[in-house]
Amino acid sequence: MKNKSGMTFLEVLIALFLFTLMVSAVFPVFLTTRKTGLINREFTEARQIAQTQIEWIYDQSKNLNYPDTLYQLVSIESFTCSGFSWTIDATTSEIIYNTPSSVVTCTKTISPYQTVLVLTKDDSILTEDFIEITITINDVSLSSPLKLYETLYATGFLE
């Protein structure tokens, strides 16, 4: 009898088959984990964008009135708002605000995220401009936008 070293072709095929079974069992878990990680990252980024916007609005509400804050959203923060407009006096260069509607919607897109602010004035409170703000962050990189995060905030502005 000869002493054979090495593996036969059949042994290699069996080992390859077993390896393929193990990989096919583990690979879906890897894909699911990766997908969950990506979703969590997007959610965290969306929540951070919303938190930053809430803090910015809060800071504005302590120093400015509601129309001035809306103007800052458009001119400094680059939002596009509907339900709010202004004119600039040609001689004095003073900003003259038209009264904001009871619901003002402001939108800003910085790919892949779209930030939507819906500012709703509570007219039952007469002593100050009390505004309820819904902040929604959407992922617009997909064929149909996907809501990643939404939160509600309320604040009062100087009169």
Task: State residue 3's pLDDT score.
Answer: 63
Instruction: Tell me the DSSP string of 37-58.
Output: HHHHHHHHHHHHHHHHHHHHHH
Yes or no: say if 78 and 106 are a contact pair by the CB < 8 Å rule. Answer: no
Per-residue pLDDT band at 6 (split at 50, 70, 90):
low
Is pLDDT above 80 for 7?
Answer: no
Maximum distance among all alpha carbons in the chain? 111
Q: For residue 149, what are its two tokens?
A: 């995060």
The residue whose two tokens read 């072709």 is 9
Is pLDDT above 80 for 155?
Answer: yes
Is pLDDT above 70 for 4?
Answer: no
Query: Domain residues of the chain, as ranges?
Result: 9-157
Q: What is the mean pLDDT of residues 19-36?
A: 86
> What length does the chain have?
159
pLDDT in tens, 45-85: 999 999 999 999 999 999 999 999 999 999 999 999 999 99
For 13, 14, 16, 93, the CA distances from 6, given in Å and listed in that order, are: 14, 14, 15, 90
